[in-house]
Amino acid sequence: MELLYYYALAHQTSFDVRWVKKQTIQETMINPLARDLIDNHGLTLLSSSRVTQVRMDEAGGEVAGISYLDSAGQPQDLDDMDACVLALGAKGMKAVVGGSPRLAKSCVELSKAASLGSVDVIAARIWLDRTVTTPSLFFFFITLKPRVE
């Protein structure tokens, strides 16, 4: 507890990470991102759905589709995808990789991640091409500097 206090609480200004103080992660990060993707990019959000399998093509190199349970618990398939982003917690990762044998075989790093005993944690590090001013309580970052490589 002393280390947590020292590093996480007493010396927050020494790090570029900030704790969300007044709202949840969903309210500060997930919902605004989802609204932007829906309003500006034609995203369809399937809330209360659960992915059961990521189906790979015959070669095992690209995602061919996903199988999921809709909000009523009925099995559904989604095909003809441009991309698939896995945003899962530890338990969800184990379930999806466990139900996707081709994914597990072709993406060894996901299999290794799914086999870890862990708890769910969210962390985001965003590299921007310019400095952006944000309210200190809205995002984790107070100062964002461009990444120099």
Residue 142 in this model has a pLDDT that exceeds 50: no
Q: What's the pLDDT score for residue 138?
A: 42
Mean pLDDT over the full length of the chain: 76
Across the beta sheet with 50-56, what order do the strands follow? 50-56, 63-69, 75-79
CA distance 69 to 51: 6
DSSP string computed for 61-112: SSEEEEEEE-TTS-EEEEES-S-------HHHHHHHHHT-HHHHHH-HHHHH
Say what percent of the chain tops pLDDT 70: 66
User: Could you tell me the residue ranges of all domains in the chain?
Assistant: 17-114
Residue 87 in this model has a pLDDT that exceeds 90: no
Question: 48-69: per-residue pLDDT in tens?
Answer: 899 999 998 887 678 899 999 9
Evaluate whether 44 touches 36 at the Cβ level (below 8 Å): no
Half-sphere exposure of 75 (CA within 13 A, CB side): 4
CA distance 86 to 95: 12
Average pLDDT over residues 99-121: 82
Q: Give the global pTM.
A: 0.59
Coil, helix or strand at residue 9: helix
Hey, CA dihedral for 62, 86, 90, 72, is it positive or negative? Answer: negative
